[in-house]
Amino acid sequence: MNNILFLSSVVIIVSIFMYRYLSKFGVPMLLVFISLGMIFGVNGIFKIDYENYELSRDICSFALIYIIFFGGFGTNLTMAKGIIKKSLILSSLGVIFTSFLTGIFAHYILKLDWYTSFLIGSALGSTDAASVFSILRSHKLNLKENTASLLEIESGSNDPFAYVLTISFLTLSKGGLNLPILLFKQVCFGLLVGYIFAKISILSIKKVRNIDSGMSMALIMASMLLSYSLSEFIGGNGYITVYLLGVLVGNIRFNKKTEIVSFFNGITSIMQILIFFLLGLLVNPLEALKYTVPAILIMIAMTILIRPFVVYLLISPLKSSRGQKLLVSWAGLRGAASVVFAILVVVTNKEIGMVVFNIAFIVVLLSIAIQGSLLPFFSRKFNMIDEEEDVLKTFNDYSDTEDVDFITAEINESHKWVGKQVKNLEFMPSVLLVLIIRNEQNIIPNGDTIIEKDDRVVLCGSSFVDRDTRINLYENVVDKNSKYKNKSIKELPKNTLIVMIKRDDIAMIPSGNTTILENDTLVLLDR
């Protein structure tokens, strides 16, 4: 147990520092993780002989739940208006056509049997959400015609369809497969369970008040895992379930949402590291080299022929520009899901599975290295960069660069604002009264609104952002010997600024007449 914890922590830390350094040269993040896995692997420096595909299947399948859920949770549907139809067509029919055309190419050009060919096609059928999100964010690529949202939704929602195809072809070898019934159960049951759990989760989040961000994270995570397991139990597709759950829950407003998005973003990053590190650890480079030529041919065919053909066929009738079709054709990156599905094949049939796994490994490696690295270049080449927008708006954790902060104040009966209209109040520049809480009712004020005693007002202003100025705060607990004990704020030296007093678990903003008591915790500005 201790060895596993030690190795895991070292891998994560080394991965982060390697990425921070190599990203300066445009090296894709996931390529760093694969390389690190190979360094630890049987032909690497550390010579770890790891071939447990069953355990890897379980770990990677678990990790993929988080990746697919966050793909839905982070997608902003408001920004995706007008392209949802294109995205869903590409994520469903696009995967099916790509898988079958890749299988046909592998059979006729590479002379592989039909079964192996279609397993390769199904494993490589979906595009990679993690790679697409990473490149769009890191390069801040906002694309014209809502193309960024199109790629996000397509890559976030197409993994379940590739999974269905992979499972279908694996089941074919056992006989007795009723493909229409299997597809119906996988898709319909998956959507139904996802919708039901989304409604329950949304209702729970809205009804349970005063729940902190930690509990909200736990609730959403439990809903995600429970919905996946229940969907799989009744024959549905758990990945479809968690994706729909993520989309529906991620597009409602609730407290501490930004913190939750950041949490799942971090967890998803760890899951990506895990999957690609395991891929590098599992692969035997000397064995994989035997499949270099067929893998390169499949990579070229998918990038230059199959993906463009499918994209033009499916979205040309939907009023897409030439630039959008060309860029979407190039942006069909393969990644984590292809690795997981290839491992599923190995567990079911090791002889055929090793062929699928090694070819998938090389294709994923080339796809991330070539397509991923050149995506920014082709975005400019096809004149698809939108300089006036921010790609982060297409994600649910977007916040404008000019942030605002909110503060609140209690209006007691002696406050000078009592009885005054909002338009007659004197505010500091760039400060706005945005909300009045009165008798547990929220009031959006206007200029004629009158302030009453016991009101709680919420003010907003621009956040303080100055890279050259650092504000440091520190705490001081008032004991019986403290120099602050029983003194009022106005009696303190002029160079002492107390910004907050914590008293009996209550935080208060002091005035000049506030008296400091023993056991108070003072929050002071360090000058």
For residue 30, pLDDT over 70 is answered with yes
| Per-residue pLDDT reduced to its tens digit, 227-242 | 999 999 999 999 999 9
Residue 228 CB coordination number (10 Å): 28
Average pLDDT over residues 142-147: 86
Task: Return the pLDDT at 304.
Answer: 96
Enclosing domain of residue 428: 404-462
Rounded to a whole number of angstroms, the CA Rg of the chain reads 28
Whole-angstrom distance, CA of residue 48 vs CA of residue 29: 23
Task: Return the pLDDT at 527.
Answer: 55
Is 21 a domain residue? yes
Is 399 a domain residue? no
Task: Return the pLDDT at 162.
Answer: 93
Nearest to 251 by CA among 187, 197, 202, 213: 202
pLDDT bucket at 321, cuts 50 / 70 / 90: very high
Q: Please indicate, yes or no, whether residues 242 and 144 belong to a single structural domain of this protein.
A: yes
| Per-residue pLDDT reduced to its tens digit, 148-193 | 889 988 988 898 899 989 988 888 766 656 777 888 889 899 999 9
High-pLDDT (> 90) share of the chain, %:
41
For residue 421, pLDDT over 70 is answered with yes
Q: Please indicate, yes or no, whether residues 62 and 164 belong to a single structural domain of this protein.
A: yes
Is 377 a domain residue? yes
Task: Return the pLDDT at 244.
Answer: 94
Between residues 178 and 54, the one the model is more confident about: 54
Q: Please indicate, yes or no, whether residues 203 and 286 belong to a single structural domain of this protein.
A: yes
| Per-residue pLDDT reduced to its tens digit, 269-304 | 889 888 989 989 999 888 999 999 999 999 999 999
Q: Please indicate, yes or no, whether residues 382 and 429 belong to a single structural domain of this protein.
A: no
Nearest to 159 by CA among 206, 115, 126: 126
Between residues 56 and 2, the one the model is more confident about: 56
For residue 148, the domain's CATH number is: 1.20.1530.20
- Ranking 77-86, 320-329, 369-378 by mean pLDDT, the lowest is 77-86
Whole-angstrom distance, CA of residue 411 vs CA of residue 342: 64
Is 226 a domain residue? yes
Among 356, 386, 416, where does a domain finish? 386
Among 441, 462, 483, where does a domain finish? 462
Whole-angstrom distance, CA of residue 365 vs CA of residue 380: 24
For residue 468, pLDDT over 70 is answered with no
For residue 482, the domain's CATH number is: 3.30.70.1450
Under 8 Å between Cβ of 362 and 291: yes
Average pLDDT, the chain: 85
Average pLDDT over residues 317-339: 92
Between residues 122 and 376, the one the model is more confident about: 122
Instruction: Tell me the HSE value of 352 on the side-chain side, using a 13 A CA sphere.
Output: 17
For residue 401, pLDDT over 60 is answered with no
Sheet arrangement for strand 404-410: 404-410, 456-462, 431-438, 441-443
For residue 199, pLDDT over 50 is answered with yes
Is 392 a domain residue? no
Among 462, 487, 509, where does a domain finish? 462
Q: Please indicate, yes or no, whether residues 281 and 147 belong to a single structural domain of this protein.
A: yes
At 493, give phi and psi (nearest 5°).
Answer: -60, 150
| Per-residue pLDDT reduced to its tens digit, 493-520 | 887 888 888 888 777 778 788 899 988 9
Q: What's the total number of domains in the chain?
A: 3
Under 8 Å between Cβ of 360 and 379: no
Task: Return the pLDDT at 400.
Answer: 41
Full-model pTM: 0.74
Q: Please indicate, yes or no, whether residues 286 and 248 belong to a single structural domain of this protein.
A: yes
Q: Please indicate, yes or no, whether residues 426 and 483 belong to a single structural domain of this protein.
A: no
Whole-angstrom distance, CA of residue 100 vs CA of residue 192: 28
Is 304 a domain residue? yes
Q: Please indicate, yes or no, whether residues 275 and 317 belong to a single structural domain of this protein.
A: yes
Residue 221 CB coordination number (10 Å): 16
Q: Please indicate, yes or no, whether residues 327 and 419 belong to a single structural domain of this protein.
A: no
Q: Please indicate, yes or no, whether residues 427 and 327 belong to a single structural domain of this protein.
A: no
Is 394 a domain residue? no
Average pLDDT over residues 6-35: 75
Task: Return the pLDDT at 524.
Answer: 83
Q: Please indicate, yes or no, whether residues 498 and 376 belong to a single structural domain of this protein.
A: no
| Per-residue pLDDT reduced to its tens digit, 350-399 | 999 999 999 999 999 999 889 988 988 999 999 998 866 555 555 555 44
Q: Please indicate, yes or no, whether residues 458 and 477 belong to a single structural domain of this protein.
A: no
Is 64 a domain residue? yes
Structure tokens at 131: 């790679």
Under 8 Å between Cβ of 460 and 406: yes
Phi-psi group of 7: left, alpha or beta (phi > 0 → left; psi -120 to 50 → alpha; rest → beta) = alpha
